Structure 1
Amino acid sequence: MPSVYKEVPVQELRGCVEPETLPFEHTGALEPLEEGVVGQERAIDAIKFGMGMKEKGYNIYIAGPGKAGLTYIARTFLEEQAKKEPTPPDWCYVHNFKQPDEPKSLKLSAGRGKELKKDMEEFINTLQAKIPEVFDSEDYRAKETEVQQAFEKRRREIVDELSEIAKEEGFILQFSQVGMVIIPANQEGQPMSQEELSELSEEEKKALREKSDELQEKMKAAIKRIREAEAEFKEKHAKLDNEIALFVVGQLIEHYVEKYQDEPEVLDYLKAVQEDILENIDDFKKKPESQQQMGPFPVQPKEAVFRKYDVNVLIDNSETEGAPVVIESNPAYPNLFGTIERQAWFGALFTDFTMIKPGALHKANGGYLVMKALDLLKWYLSWEAVKRALRDGVIKIEDLGELYGIFSTRTIRPEPIPLDVKIVLTGDPYLFHLLYIYDDRFQKLFKVKAHMDDQMERKDEAILQCARMISRFCQENQIRHLDRSGVARVLEYSMEVTGDRDKLSLELGDISDLLREANYFAGLDNAQFIGRDHVHQAIQKRIYRANLIEERIKELVKKDIFWVETTGEKVGQVNGLSVLMTGDHEFGKPNRITATVSVGREGVVAIERESKLSGNIHTKGVLILSSFLKERFAHNKPISLSASLCFEQSYGMVDGDSASSTELYAILSALSGVPIKQGIAVTGSVSQKGEIQPVGGVTQKIEAFFDICAHKGLTGDQGVIIPEKNVPNLMLKQEVVDAVQEGKFHIWPVSRIEEGIEILTGVPAGELQPDGTYPEGTVFRKADDRLREIAEIVKRFGKDENGDDKASADDGNGGGCPTCER
């Protein structure tokens, strides 16, 4: 190939990292990166700001690509920072003695929740043992007997007094099952019989009834006095029990009051416990062993009677260092807000405060809760509830069925717990934009956006940071460390992923998978360290597992089923290059692009567009071709032509503008009649001014065409034309680099369409001269001549029946052709 055409220097075909330039022997000798995050200064600054802003609404959304390791970065960085923050308090649920259906929440210092639970268990157990002993003691029995005897004496005195009055009036006081009865008496002091009563005169009977009525009133008064004495007895007995119980309970509870004197909520709870115990002291009088219940479903006394004195430790931060960082991978409503469990008993379901279970919001309260935004949005109820909790500043544990009216059963309503948590969502930037626009609450609640980058500048400092990060990863995952050659190959792979020799990938998920896979191959070799060969083998095996479709397409191309020519010359035919993606793998594919030009007025027509196999961007690229033709050739004549473009043997959608320059070369060849060398492939988009613009996937495209040429035989004239601005993106495999160095393959960078057409045809493109023509023998001159010829033909055949010239009769638009211009 003539040396007049500029080629890409061999050293710029692939970015390399020389192991000798790395200032370490292996990553095990490096100090692991503390924060585990590299190259994310912008995002880290935003995260620090969000963590520092304690005001309401400054929750964090970490936006970045899926493979950037968003959750890993969030966890590692947040955990390091959260250790410096104060540890949040414990939270417990206890029985509400005033409203049993509304359990109370208790706030305690970190680690004291389980202490309170243990202390309450000891307290109740001690009371169960001591109170029966006290009430069985001789002192208590003596005092109880004294009170009992006083009552009995008072009752006897009242009865004797009433009996004496009745006797004086000629009546007898008797006791029966229904109570006291006053009966008239005879001379002998015995109850009168019916015969004796009948023998009395009316005056005597009347006097007897009057006396009986008086005595009945006195008996009622006596009974009232007895009841008052009985009430006084019960009061004295209860006071005695209360004094005894208060002595025992007060003596025991005083220790806990002193212990929790700096916990005001606990003091209130202990006061309520003491009052309830005194009110229900009879539950403690019996010894535990005598309280066993008989029946088919025995219930433990603790469960039956003393369960209300339990303490449900909802959140225990005794072992938490700093603020908690919770990762919730399944943000369903119960997992976030907690649940109220139920227990079956005698065929029915019941619940109480001891069955309240915490959710992720409770565990992260006072710290940070990390979730994937998409996972949270999949649970619509959870998303709405989270926004409501952030707005109201409380965590409500509610039954999901009752909350949304699915079913209604009696349940408890725990007292809400104040919410002090920083929500950290991770997700795609596009998802952030959608939420910001369509969810009016989102922008009020998530005011901090931490945008993660997917690449960083390749500098010496960054390379060392990457090596330290690799060291941390190997240490955390307990895999082999990498030697210098292994690190160098990982860095080269990182450049391959970014498609830029001056950039390193920050897609940590992809890199971490590569390290694990390389460790596997190092294990097969029983190597001490992961070396370059192990990393390279992992990369190649990864490609091999995913490139079945690529190999099938290559096979079809090699068999000429997919027809791609690599030798000879043809008019209106050029090799284009495209990129195909199969999810986890992308590869290049050569395509024959053909163009035909004929007399007509249709302009440039893309067969893919007409057959609805063209995307919008490809359609735009075709329209640019028409603009280029106008700009180059319509300055002194109207353009009338019909040009047809086609991706041969393409049976799927075609999109993108990276083939627009290739299509233009085919049209210029078809117009000028100058053949194009088939050993050259082309990629690059073109502007209306003929500038060659950069495209994506240039490395894959070059390697795809090289493989075909290598299979059919390298002639030394073959190569690829690429945009000059894509040179920094080249990361070609060593096989291609070696072929270029040996002169068997060529890569030409071009910046204008004129450079490309000269390389493809070997004929100068031609510069526009002052007289509006192009030099003889140039490609543009031949194309210009052909366009003039077509315009004359259109003009000649465009006359109407009366001999009028249609081209002259139209509004100067070149015979009505939409692509023509005066």
Structure 2
Amino acid sequence: ELARTRPTPDDWCYVFNFTQPDRPQALRLPAGRGRALVADMRRLLEAVQRQLPRVFESDAYTKQRDHILNELQRRRGEMLAALEQRARAEGFALQAVPGGLLLIPLLHGQPLSDEALAALPPEIRRRIDQRRQHLEEEVRAVLKELRNLERTAHERLHDLDRQAVLSVVGDLIEDLVERYRDLPAVVRYLEAVREDLLQTWPQLRLPAEEPAMAPLGLHFWQRERVLRRYQVNLIVDNAEVQGAPVVMEIHPSYANLIGYVEREVVLGVPVTDFTLIRAGALHRANGGYLVLTAEDVLRQPGAWDGLKRTLRTNQITIEEVSDLFGLIGIVPRGLRPEPIPLEAKIILVGAPLTFYLYWLDPDFRELFKVRADFALTMDRTPENERAYAQFAAMLCQKENLLPFDCTALAALVEHGSRLAEDQRKLSTHFGALADVMREADYWARQERVATVSRVHVRRALEEKIYRSNLIEERIQELIARGIILVDVSGAVVGQVNGLAVSTLADLTFGRPTRITATIGAGREGVIDIEREVRLGGPIHSKGVLILGGFLVDRFAQDKPLTLHARLVFEQSYEEVEGDSASSAELYALLSRLADVPIRQGLAVTGSVNQRGEVQAIGGVNEKIEGFFAACKAKGLTGDQGVIIPASNVDNLMLNEEVVDAVAQGRFHIYPVRTIEEGISLLTGLPAGRRLPDGTFEPETVFWRVDRRLRELARSLRAVAREEREGEGN
């Protein structure tokens, strides 16, 4: 929208430089007039080629030319006749030879041969030589006068030809000069064209047929080369542009950014000229905006350096690619077009990591001073929901998709919230939405219906998952067959179903995993087996250490925490990372300490802090759907469900099957804020409040945990006492 309000930038073209042929001249014209100049020069050449033969074939031109030539011939004849008469009088004859005129001595009117001349008496030969010397001086004088006469005639013919050409070219050029009077650079170029045409016009009159002795194609190439001198290479044409251009270069190589000069092969030799100069993206975006993908610029050799050089100088300089790689002298030197001023905004779009990589370059910090972060989501407001509908309508019109009814649009909006993982947000990843729309259109056409409905959008989403979820299905099969041990019914002490998320390319899915805890007397504290074998990431290890902090805060205020506990993800053979299972690990540990069984029909996700507050996690929808699939495979009982952090409720955007199961009471979702709420749901017992005397309410989970910790402390002290007594004995 901003670009539309800005003025349309000028056209740019390259023309022949008559003073420096290897440096083509750049001309700047208002938008649309570059195209007009191209047409005007084309018509000029056509008119010159059409009218020149008429002028040179006209009676007036022929009469003047014949007059000059006849006068030259007459004067030459008179001078040679007078010289011939003078030579005869001196006993010599004149003979024309390639080098000039030769004096041949005569005897009785007959030429003397060299032998006859040598046989003459010396005195006679001496007199003949004297007369020859005098005559040779006269011959040289006559020849000099003849050359002056021919030069004068040639100059008169040249002036005649010049006037003839000027009678054609002058008026045509003058009309163009008047048309482009407001553009001084163009006027100077047109005047240079006029002067050059007065010199090169004979080549424009080359015969139409190839000379018999000329190499094949040489004649036509020579004529074409002359004609090209007067063409206009319009490299930027903004005649149809409204406002400032916005250019997106999908392949930002050096040549595509800066421009390049093509070569063509003539008679086996690569040649080039200014008409083969090609514009780059910077030329097309000049006066507007150029959008580049930052990663693509880095991948192209020389592209980043070329872009920086252009921005530093504010000039677009087309250079030979060979020069950039030090191949000077190896590749023939080409043209050096005149640089064009740059007046464009360059926008680099990329991931944050790419920005930090660019930031290491001091030039980047100097040249790109404005940074803008783009959100991947937007608020789910009525206005933005309408914007979703407008996007859908635009795509339908652009790609000729079937119309989407209100149910289909509602499904798209819901999918947008699903992608954003937030009920109050919508995803701005419109490419993913467009893919869903195209596939929904396909399924609607398969059913031969006139509009796309919610059913088709849902099928598109399901089919997309089906094409990618082979591994997910395999995992669910292993769970159903009991190969991967996951209980979805009953109750077990020290065992809980945690939830993990796996990402494979464009598919993210959740799956349950068994977490178990064991305890004993000792001072080692809580040991994470995953960390011990280096399968636990740093964030996961941090979450386990927080469990120790929770136990100290709740149960070690009046006694030391003497505990040796081990936690493990059963049947886990890959790295475990993240703290979303820390609450599940804590529930397993509390269950083992309290010796209270945990309902296996419930799965748990959520991180926890040292104060026992359950914190939000990611992938909540995939985790719930993954456990639902496991319960469905092993049989839904109506008592199964998932415990999630209460702060994740706004992130729930579940698929319709899970939503229906929850609505029918066959599956449940329990949001909790604290560990106390969660342990009560899992065990059926209250967690227990701390009483004024520091103990917990009797027969509660925390009362049992506290009692067990005291027992472990007493047993550890007893063992230590026995060891000391044994050492004393």
2:50 to 129, 152, 174: 129
User: How far is the alpha carbon of 1:596 from its aligned partner?
Assistant: 0.6
Distance 1:737 1:410, change over 3 A: closer
Distance 1:691 1:285, change over 3 A: closer
Q: 1:730 maps to what in 2?
A: 652
Aligned with 1:306: secondary structure? helix
Distance 1:457 1:188, change over 3 A: closer
RMSD, aligned CA: 3.2
Aligned with 1:200: secondary structure? helix
Q: 1:263 maps to what in 2?
A: 183
1:472 matched to 2:397: no
**Residue type at the aligned position of 1:392:** T
Distance 1:449 1:473, change over 3 A: farther
Q: 1:430 maps to what in 2?
A: 353
Task: State whether residues 692 and 752 of structure 1, in contact with CA within 8 Å, keep that contact through their aligned partners in structure 2.
Answer: yes
Name the CA distance, whole Å, in 2 between partners of 1:485 and 1:135.
Answer: 80
Aligned with 2:654: secondary structure? coil
Distance 1:715 1:410, change over 3 A: closer
Q: How does 1:732-771 map to 2 (within 5 A)?
A: 732-771=654-693
Distance 1:174 1:627, change over 3 A: same
Name the CA distance, whole Å, in 2 between partners of 1:481 and 1:133.
Answer: 66
Distance 1:298 1:660, change over 3 A: same
User: How far is the alpha carbon of 1:287 from its aligned partner?
Assistant: 5.4
Aligned with 1:369: secondary structure? strand
Name the CA distance, whole Å, in 1 between partners of 2:565 and 2:236.
Answer: 75
Name the CA distance, whole Å, in 2 between partners of 1:175 and 1:741.
Answer: 126
1:389 to 310, 314, 325: 310
Q: 2:331 maps to what in 1?
A: 408
Bigger drift between 773-782 and 735-744 goes to 735-744
Task: State whether residues 316 and 342 of structure 2, in contact with CA within 8 Å, keep that contact through their aligned partners in structure 1.
Answer: yes
**Residue type at the aligned position of 1:421:** A
Distance 1:428 1:800, change over 3 A: same
Task: State whether residues 799 and 805 of structure 1, in contact with CA within 8 Å, keep that contact through their aligned partners in structure 2.
Answer: no
Q: 2:170 maps to what in 1?
A: 250
Q: How does 1:684-695 map to 2 (within 5 A)?
A: 684-695=606-617
State the TM-score, normalizing by the size of structure 1.
0.80
1:198 matched to 2:108: no
Name the CA distance, whole Å, in 2 between partners of 1:276 and 1:468.
Answer: 59
Q: Which runs of 5 or more structure 1 residues have no equivalent in the other structure?
A: 1-79, 807-822
Task: State whether residues 621 and 657 of structure 1, in contact with CA within 8 Å, keep that contact through their aligned partners in structure 2.
Answer: yes
Name the CA distance, whole Å, in 1 between partners of 2:28 and 2:662.
Answer: 73
Q: 2:544 maps to what in 1?
A: 622
Q: 1:772 maps to what in 2?
A: 694
User: How far is the alpha carbon of 1:81 from its aligned partner?
Assistant: 4.1
Distance 1:293 1:464, change over 3 A: farther
Q: 1:338 maps to what in 2?
A: 259
What CA deviation, in whole Å up to 9, does each residue of 1:644-685 have, x standing for no partner?
A: 101111122211101101111111222222222222221111
**Residue type at the aligned position of 1:432:** F
User: How far is the alpha carbon of 1:617 from its aligned partner?
Assistant: 1.0
Name the CA distance, whole Å, in 2 between partners of 1:484 and 1:591.
Answer: 40
Task: State whether residues 582 and 608 of structure 2, in contact with CA within 8 Å, keep that contact through their aligned partners in structure 1.
Answer: yes
Bigger drift between 486-495 and 794-803 goes to 794-803
User: How far is the alpha carbon of 1:466 from its aligned partner?
Assistant: 2.4
The count of corresponding residues between Structure 1 and Structure 2 is: 722
User: How far is the alpha carbon of 1:580 from its aligned partner?
Assistant: 1.9
Name the CA distance, whole Å, in 1 between partners of 2:370 and 2:576.
Answer: 39
1:448 matched to 2:370: yes
The share of aligned pairs that are identical, in percent, is 45
1:100 to 1, 4, 21: 21
Task: State whether residues 602 and 640 of structure 2, in contact with CA within 8 Å, keep that contact through their aligned partners in structure 1.
Answer: yes
Q: 1:375 maps to what in 2?
A: 296
Q: How does 1:76-225 map to 2 (within 5 A)?
A: 80-152=1-73, 154-155=75-76, 172=92, 174-177=94-97, 178-181=99-102, 194=117, 198=121, 200=123, 205=126, 216-217=136-137, 219-225=139-145
Q: 1:7 maps to what in 2?
A: none
Name the CA distance, whole Å, in 1 between partners of 2:545 and 2:21.
Answer: 77
User: How far is the alpha carbon of 1:803 from its aligned partner?
Assistant: 5.6
Distance 1:417 1:805, change over 3 A: farther
Aligned with 2:123: secondary structure? coil
Q: 1:34 maps to what in 2?
A: none
Name the CA distance, whole Å, in 2 between partners of 1:172 and 1:735.
Answer: 127
Distance 1:625 1:322, change over 3 A: same
Name the CA distance, whole Å, in 1 between partners of 2:226 and 2:383.
Answer: 68
User: How far is the alpha carbon of 1:481 from its aligned partner?
Assistant: 2.1
1:493 to 415, 423, 430: 415
What CA deviation, in whole Å up to 9, does each residue of 1:218-237 have, x standing for no partner?
A: 55444434333333332222
**Residue type at the aligned position of 2:292:** M
What CA deviation, in whole Å up to 9, does each residue of 1:337-378 have, x standing for no partner?
A: 333222222222222222223333333333333332222222
2:704 to 757, 782, 788: 782
Distance 1:523 1:805, change over 3 A: farther
Bigger drift between 170-179 and 748-757 goes to 170-179
What CA deviation, in whole Å up to 9, does each residue of 1:487-511 have, x standing for no partner?
A: 2222222222222222222221111
Bigger drift between 258-267 and 174-183 goes to 174-183
Bigger drift between 546-555 and 660-669 goes to 546-555
Q: How does 1:578-597 map to 2 (within 5 A)?
A: 578-597=500-519
Bigger drift between 774-783 and 682-691 goes to 774-783
Name the CA distance, whole Å, in 1 between partners of 2:213 and 2:130.
Answer: 57
State the TM-score, normalizing by the size of structure 2.
0.90
**Residue type at the aligned position of 1:552:** R
Q: 2:268 maps to what in 1?
A: 347
Name the CA distance, whole Å, in 1 between partners of 2:663 and 2:70.
Answer: 121
Q: Which structure ranks higher in relative contact order (CA pairs < 8 Å, sequence separation ≥ 6)?
A: 1
User: How far is the alpha carbon of 1:112 from its aligned partner?
Assistant: 3.2
**Residue type at the aligned position of 1:584:** D
What CA deviation, in whole Å up to 9, does each residue of 1:692-716 have, x standing for no partner?
A: 1111222222233233334444444
Name the CA distance, whole Å, in 2 between partners of 1:195 and 1:492.
Answer: 123
Task: State whether residues 293 and 299 of structure 1, in contact with CA within 8 Å, keep that contact through their aligned partners in structure 2.
Answer: no
Name the CA distance, whole Å, in 2 between partners of 1:668 and 1:243.
Answer: 110
Task: State whether residues 510 and 625 of structure 2, in contact with CA within 8 Å, keep that contact through their aligned partners in structure 1.
Answer: yes
**Residue type at the aligned position of 1:273:** V
Task: State whether residues 93 and 105 of structure 2, in contact with CA within 8 Å, keep that contact through their aligned partners in structure 1.
Answer: no
Task: State whether residues 132 and 287 of structure 1, in contact with CA within 8 Å, keep that contact through their aligned partners in structure 2.
Answer: no
Distance 1:278 1:736, change over 3 A: closer
User: How far is the alpha carbon of 1:141 from its aligned partner?
Assistant: 3.3
Task: State whether residues 644 and 669 of structure 2, in contact with CA within 8 Å, keep that contact through their aligned partners in structure 1.
Answer: yes
What CA deviation, in whole Å up to 9, does each residue of 1:153-189 have, x standing for no partner?
A: 5556666776787788x56473442434567788999
